Structure 1
Amino acid sequence: MTETLAKPPVTNRPPADPVRRSRLRPRLRRVIKHLLLIGSALVMLYPLLWMLASSFKPNALIFRDPSLIPAQLDLSNYPDGWAALAHPFSHYLLNSAVIVVGSVLGNLLSCSMAAYAFARLNFRSKRLWFAVMLMSIMLPIHAVIVPQYVLFSNLGWINTFLPLIVPKLLATDAFFIFLMVQFFRGIPTELTEAAKIDGAGHFRIYWQIMLPLSLPALATTTIFTFIWTWNDFFSQLIFLTDPEMYTVPVALRTFVDSTAESSWGALFAMSVVSLIPIFLLFLFGQKYIVKGIATTGLK
Structure 2
Amino acid sequence: MRRTQRWLNLGIYHVFIILFGVLMVYPVLWMVFSSFKENTEIFGTASLIPRHFKLDAYVRGWQGVGGVPFGFFFRNSFYYVILATIGTVFSSAVVAYGFARIKFFAKNFWFVCMLLTMMLPYQVVMIPQFILFFKLGWVNSFLPLIVPMFCGQPFFVFLMIQFIRGLPVELDESAKIDGCGRFRIFSKIIFPLISPAIITTTIFQFYWRWDDFLGPLLYLNKPRLYTVSLALRMFADPATATDWGGMFAMGTLSLVPIFIIFISFQRYLVEGISTTGLKG
Q: Report the TM-score range of the alignment, normalised by the length of the smaller protein.
A: over 0.9
Find the partner of 2:145 among 141, 154, 164.
164
Deviation at 1:24, TM superposition (A): 3.0
Find the partner of 1:69 among 35, 49, 69.
49
Cα distance between partner residues in 2 of 1:202 and 1:26 = 56
Cα distance between partner residues in 2 of 1:36 and 1:297 = 32
**Contact 2:196–2:272 at 8 Å: present in 1 too?**
yes
**Contact 1:50–1:66 at 8 Å: present in 2 too?**
no
Structure 2 length as normaliser, TM-score? 0.97
Find the partner of 1:229 among 199, 204, 209.
209
RMSD of aligned alpha carbons: 1.1
Where does residue 93 of structure 1 map in the other structure?
A: 74
Where does residue 201 of structure 1 map in the other structure?
A: 181
Supply the AA of the counterpart residue of 2:112.
A
Consecutive unaligned residues of structure 1, counting only runs of 5 or more, are 1-20
Between structure 1 and structure 2, the one with the greater Rg is 1
Cα distance between partner residues in 1 of 2:47 and 2:277 = 42
Q: SS state of the match for residue 96, structure 2?
A: helix
Q: SS state of the match for residue 276, structure 2?
A: helix
Identity %, equivalent residues: 47
CA deviation profile, 1:99-154 (whole Å, cap 9, x unmatched): 11111110111100000000000111111111111111111111111111111111
**Contact 2:73–2:228 at 8 Å: present in 1 too?**
yes
Cα distance between partner residues in 1 of 2:6 and 2:268 = 31
Q: SS state of the match for residue 144, structure 1?
A: helix
Alpha-carbon distance change, 196 to 297 in structure 1, aligned in 2, over 3 angstroms = closer
Moved more, 200-209 or 72-81: 72-81
Q: SS state of the match for residue 242, structure 2?
A: coil
Find the partner of 2:254 among 250, 257, 274.
274
Where does residue 248 of structure 1 map in the other structure?
A: 228
Deviation at 1:265, TM superposition (A): 0.5
**Contact 1:50–1:67 at 8 Å: present in 2 too?**
no
Consecutive unaligned residues of structure 2, counting only runs of 5 or more, are none
The list of structure 1 runs, each at least 4 consecutive aligned residues, that deviate by more than 6 angstroms after superposition, is none
Deviation at 1:297, TM superposition (A): 4.2
